[in-house]
Structure 1
Amino acid sequence: MNCSICKMYGAVPFASRCYKTSTLRRHADGVSHTAAIKRKREADSAKNVMAKAIEDAHLQSAAELKGLLKTAYFIAKNEMAKAKFCHVVKFLKEMECPAFKKLTETSSYGSYVNEKGLSEMQQAIASTLVEDVDKAVERSPVFSLILDESTDISNTKRLIISVRFIDDNKVKTKLIRNSEIADGRADTIVEDFGKFIFLFLTSV
């Protein structure tokens, strides 16, 4: 008969062919078995601490990503310059926003706190929103596209495209593209729109 605790955590594994209660009791009260139990408890405690640390890290990473995506959406919705993104995140961190309490350059999503990261997140959000709009446009008997060339607050030329369609017997207008263009010339707009309309028509 083997003692599973001593076998795994004991300095001297216990084994006996004797099944007498007195023998088992002497082993249970022995120094080696007591030490093995202590080591098992310490190992279990360390595992629990590690598991909690990993869980907390995952939860914090998820909170950081959610917070950054919400901030990216806020920046786009309020037509703020992309250069303001890192300043807004810094302000939220200083205000002790729970999502950003452990956000650093080396944390899971810290490398996204820049204009490139903002563009990637906004594109991911836009792709999800546009997918829903595509389905609605596909159901609509007719639709039209509205183009607007404008300059944002950072003096960057942009081409804004909206689609107007019928959904549930109501006319709706949704933004489906907000892209940066080199300049406001007609040929530049036509070139950018040409790339967009090909992808748009193949999706609907």
Structure 2
Amino acid sequence: MSVFGKRYGEVLLVHVGDTGPQATVYNTYPLNDCPDELWTKLDAQALAAEHQAVAALLNGPRYWLMSRIEKEGGTETERKTFGGIEMLRQATVALSSMNPSPYSVNRVDRKAAFVYDAGSPVFELADGEGRTWIMQTYSQTVDPDLTLGDLADLAPRLTLPAGWSYRTRTLEQPLRVDTTTEQASVLQDDFANSYSLLA
């Protein structure tokens, strides 16, 4: 079953260790679609206090852009409930700062592979070093009205670093982003849309 276009939300519980801030990521998928009536009532400060974290970050609503997620463990991983929304622990993130700026890279230990089927639209950043970053999710955090249909024409709305570009294409063959055995490099654009580095 394709996850393309499926809605979800995340709560990140942040703790500070010897190597800096690290977030444990809890995700609503596939338990529920991050119901708006509960999501909009979440209080980040209260969640941080409840879970003995230095901060709680609310990440969503978001929408998947890959076709499938391959991950061992499935729904058997640790569960928590935040404001009535049940979530699964899915990853840990070494944050570049407590408030990462757009286009700054975070390292994510998610032990997953994202598969984009042939015929899928993909939205990509090319950075100044010639590397490609593929959009994995789009977000309504910054622009609540952002839709899938807006992504093809997003380039003029982005404030890209010098030497970077944004492009869209349709895949002629499947594309796999495999970070099952290594950390993923992930960044966000001005609208908090998330991208993974293609190896």
Query: Is the shorter-chain TM-score for this pair beyond 0.5, marking a shared fold?
Result: no
TM-score, normalised by the number of residues in structure 2: 0.25
**Hey, which of these two has a bigger chunk of strand by percent?**
2
Give the structure with higher Rg (CA): 1
Higher relative contact order (CA 8 A, sep 6+): 2
**Hey, which of these two has a bigger chunk of helix by percent?**
1
TM-score, normalised by the number of residues in structure 1: 0.24
